Amino acid sequence: MAKEKAGWVKASGWLFILGILIAIVAGLFPDMLSYVTVILPILGFIIGLLGIAGIGVIDKTETNIFLLAVVALMAAGGAGNAFKAIDALYGGSILYNIVNNIGSLVVPAAVLISLKAIWQAGSTKF
């Protein structure tokens, strides 16, 4: 069983890295946006499912860190107008697109993992 679990963790990690790379490339080339809006949430959902099953990259010990990082990312995404304001100097629209794409990847995983955390926190333990 340990080898099988390690395989799923590795697969989940590769899915996560693939999603981040897709988000960055799509941020650099915004014409790919229509494909990305389908691919990234699906990858995030799979990563989240593996995480709540306990066989993914995001395990019980990393749940709090992951959820806090997602909140920070969403706050940065909400401040996306600041990225657009620096567009002339540093390519702010590229940063804006990358942050939004990464958000599209991690939000489905965060929803599933946070539901599991809420369930565990609210369940009665005898």
**Nearest-angstrom CA–CA distance, 60 and 113:** 9
Query: Are residues 125 and 61 in contact, defined by beta-carbon separation less than 8 angstroms?
Result: no
Distances (CA, A) of 6 to 12, 53, 111: 10, 13, 24
- Per-residue pLDDT, averaged over 93-121, amounts to 86
Q: Is 28 left (phi over 0), alpha (psi -120 to 50) or beta?
A: alpha
Q: What percent of the chain is modeled with pLDDT above 70?
A: 79
3: pLDDT confidence band, cut at 50, 70 and 90? very low
**Nearest-angstrom CA–CA distance, 30 and 121:** 40
Two tokens, residue 30: 């915004």
pLDDT at 19: 93
Q: Is the pTM of this model over 0.95?
A: no
**Nearest-angstrom CA–CA distance, 71 and 114:** 11
Q: What is the pLDDT of residues 52-74, one digit of tens each?
A: 888 877 877 888 888 888 888 88
Two tokens, residue 58: 């995001």
Two tokens, residue 60: 């019980």
**Nearest-angstrom CA–CA distance, 47 and 83:** 28
Which amino acid is present at 55? I
Listed ranges 78-82, 99-103, 104-108; the one with the highest mean pLDDT: 104-108
